[in-house]
Chain A
Amino acid sequence: MSHDVLVALPIVIPLATAVITLFSYDSRAHQRIISTIGSGALLVAAIALLWTVNQDGILVSEMGDWPAPFGIAFVADLLSSLMVLMTGLTALTVSIYALGSMDPRRESFGFYPVFQILLMGITGSFLTGDVFNLFVWFEIMLIASFVLIALGGERPQLEGSIKYVALNLVSSMILLSAIGLLYGMAGTLNMGDLGLKLQDVDQPWLVTTVGTLFLVSFGIKAAVFPMFFWLPASYHTPPIAVTAIIAALLSKVGVYALIRAFTLIFTQETGYTHQIILVIAGLTMVTGVLGAVAQTEVRRLLSFHIISQIGYMLVGLALLSPLALAGSLFYVIHNMVTKTNLFLISGVANRLQGTYELKKLGSLYRYHPYVSVLFFVSALALAGMPPFSGFMAKLTLVRGSLEIEHYVIVAVALLTSMLTLFSMAKIWTEGYWTPSPAEVDGELPPGVEKFPGWTRQMVALFIPIIVLASLSVGMGILAQPVISLLVDTAEQLLDPGLYIEAVIGDEP
């Protein structure tokens, strides 16, 4: 298949799916089927893209046949196609989960079209090779996620979505100003061309100043310290399928943008900028996990964990060594799988016991052992225990940091993972071991249903969870191919010449 098709498909498929679901706006049944097929097709297209990029190297498609750097080029390197693949995977699992968990009212008010538009915004952000175009995809993503968070119109939802949109608008404004400054300085917004032109400027500190503006703006999107407060204030309010998809993908788009910008464009004064990123990464890890330890509501607790994990994802970027960067990328992938799964499982627990409050949950281990096993796997994976994916991610990152003798960040990372384990153990004991408050004399009162049975709804809830849990086991046990792919990705990132050559070519 032609390369242009491969690069365009991850954006065209969600768009087409959104259009078809809009055409069947009156039929919820049709929308459900179409949306699931669309997400599946996205996953297939993403696999084909990653496969080809891994074989043939970086793919470039110049939209509308306008040559780069004048037109907008879409660039699929290993990092982009890997992120698109993860988007496809979470999209498919959450689509299936939504079939069993989304309420009819939200479905008939356009949940599925907006969901697909959100996916389009995300894949677009990953694939674009133009800074201004990245801003546009960010806005598409922001608007779609705003609608998803507010859809349903419950009071806490509206409160959360206003905080969410206000903070993200500030971030977009900073980004827009930074893009303006960058264009004034370099006269181009094509990422590859920027990387080329900014290599030898007279005043590198000016570029670094603009770079810090990008750091602030992407930092707000990625929810890093000290600009993370919007995330736990909004992520727990919408239905769990929405929380899962935005938790899995949105902050990772911010991380992706940071990695892209600070490996390709702002490489003038790495000693300065990457020191800042390292400090931010450490503080993000610690504050995130401390916030999580203090929470008693499962979704809020997990939201704080997202922040803490973002810290891990930045360590590799700050250290700029292939192995540490590979470790951080492993964290991104691992987190997309595990965190999505933990949210989905907490949704199942809520379905079974009607609450997200740790105090009101209980006895899940006794009545629902399979749910417990699935939670146990994901929780240990998140805390980085062997043999699950989190352990391999942590091991790679720690080894990468030790190799270049950054002992402090290693200590912080290990302390954070201890605290992560502690807060996962808190959910485990409170939700799974302690007797449910509904029990009388150690037994559930008659009339309280233990398990609704294997209805089609329950099957739709469990399939994605089982798939994600096995992935998190699989990535831990068969880590070798994953790590070698990620090291390739990291090496490609650390050699921006490859990207520049693919986009601009050999011309001066």
Chain B
Amino acid sequence: MTSLILQTAARSLVAVLLLFSIFLLLRGHDEPGGGFIGGLVAAAAFTLYAISFDVPSTRRVLGIRPQMMIAIGLLLAGGSGVFALLTQDPYLTHLWYDLDIPGFGEVHLGTFLLFDIGVFLVVIGTTLLVVLTLSEE
């Protein structure tokens, strides 16, 4: 099924959704949001693309296999806890740095961001693996 209206709308919607998902991911740092919900929104964006176009072109747009996204995500999420072991803290203790960027202000950065990005990727990967496999059937 191809619909010109849907395709045109999807083109702009996908971009907005992806931007919003990254906003949610970063907002999750100190406020409601986070990797999980951000990942779901991003997966919804790609699913919308798959519905309005087709599965092969979605895979092309994605540029990376969902399995690989899960692997990278798990690596980031699981790996973010390993830093703590180096400083003799319990696993998954997160370390924080305050970075002062001139002209932007102070940025509160931590290994927790890696964890959240990991969750973000795992959620996108898992959802798209299911969605794309089922729509290829």
Contacts and interface: CB of A to CB of B under 8 A. Distances in A.
Interface of A: 2, 4-5, 7-8, 11-12, 15-16, 18-19, 22-23, 25, 61-65, 110
A64 B92 contact: yes
B71 interface: yes
Contacts of A2: 85, 88
Given A16-B78, A65-B84, A4 B71 contact: no
A8 B88 CA distance: 12
Contact of A63 (B70, B74, B90): B90
A64 B94 contact: yes
Given A12-B78, A15-B78, A4 B70 contact: no
B90 A8 contact: yes
Contacts of A64: 90-94
Given A12-B91, A64-B90, A64-B92, A25 B67 contact: yes
A7 B91 CA distance: 9
B14 interface: no
Nearest to B70: A22
B78 A8 contact: no
A4 B78 contact: no
Contacts of A23: 68, 71, 75
Contacts of B82: 12
12 contacts: A2-B85, A12-B82, A15-B74, A19-B71, A19-B74, A19-B75, A22-B67, A22-B68, A25-B71, A61-B91, A65-B90, A110-B67
B71 A5 contact: no
A61 B90 CA distance: 6
Contacts of A16: 78
A4 B89 contact: yes
Contacts of B93: 63-65
Nearest to B91: A8
B51 to A, nearest CB: 26
A8 B89 CA distance: 11
Nearest to A61: B90
Interface string B70-87: 110011001001101100
Q: Is the interface of A mostly helix, strand, loop or mixed?
A: helix
B100 to A, nearest CB: 25
Given A15-B78, A61-B91, A63-B92, A5 B85 contact: yes
Residue with the greatest number of chain A CB neighbours at <10 A, chosen from B65, B67, B82, B90: B90
Contacts of B88: 2, 4
Contacts of A110: 67
Contacts of B67: 22, 25, 110
Nearest to B73: A19
Nearest to A21: B71
A387 B93 CA distance: 49
B94 to A, nearest CB: 7
Contacts of B78: 12, 15-16, 19
A23 B73 CA distance: 11
A312 B94 CA distance: 44
Given A23-B68, A23-B71, 10 more contacts: A4-B88, A4-B89, A11-B91, A16-B78, A18-B74, A61-B90, A62-B90, A63-B91, A63-B92, A65-B93
A160 to B, nearest CB: 22
Nearest to A71: B90
A5 B91 CA distance: 7
Contacts of A8: 81, 85, 90-91
Contacts of A11: 91
A63 B65 CA distance: 32
Residue with the greatest number of chain B CB neighbours at <10 A, chosen from A2, A61, A64: A64
Contacts of A15: 74, 78
Interface string B60-72: 0000010110110
A441 to B, nearest CB: 53
Contacts of B75: 19, 23
Contacts of A65: 84, 89-90, 93
B71 A22 contact: yes
Cβ-closest 7 pairs across A and B: A22-B71, A8-B91, A65-B93, A64-B92, A4-B90, A61-B90, A19-B74
Given A25-B68, A64-B92, A4 B85 contact: yes
Nearest to B75: A19
A15 B81 CA distance: 12
Contacts of A62: 90
A23 B93 CA distance: 26
A22 B74 contact: yes
A42 to B, nearest CB: 15
A12 to B, nearest CB: 7
A310 to B, nearest CB: 32
Interface string B89-105: 11111100000000000
A322 to B, nearest CB: 32
Contacts of A4: 84-85, 88-91
Residue with the greatest number of chain A CB neighbours at <10 A, chosen from B82, B88, B92: B92
A144 to B, nearest CB: 13
Contacts of A18: 74
Contacts of A25: 65, 67-68, 71
Contacts of A7: 91
B133 to A, nearest CB: 11
B97 to A, nearest CB: 16
A2 B89 CA distance: 9
A75 to B, nearest CB: 12
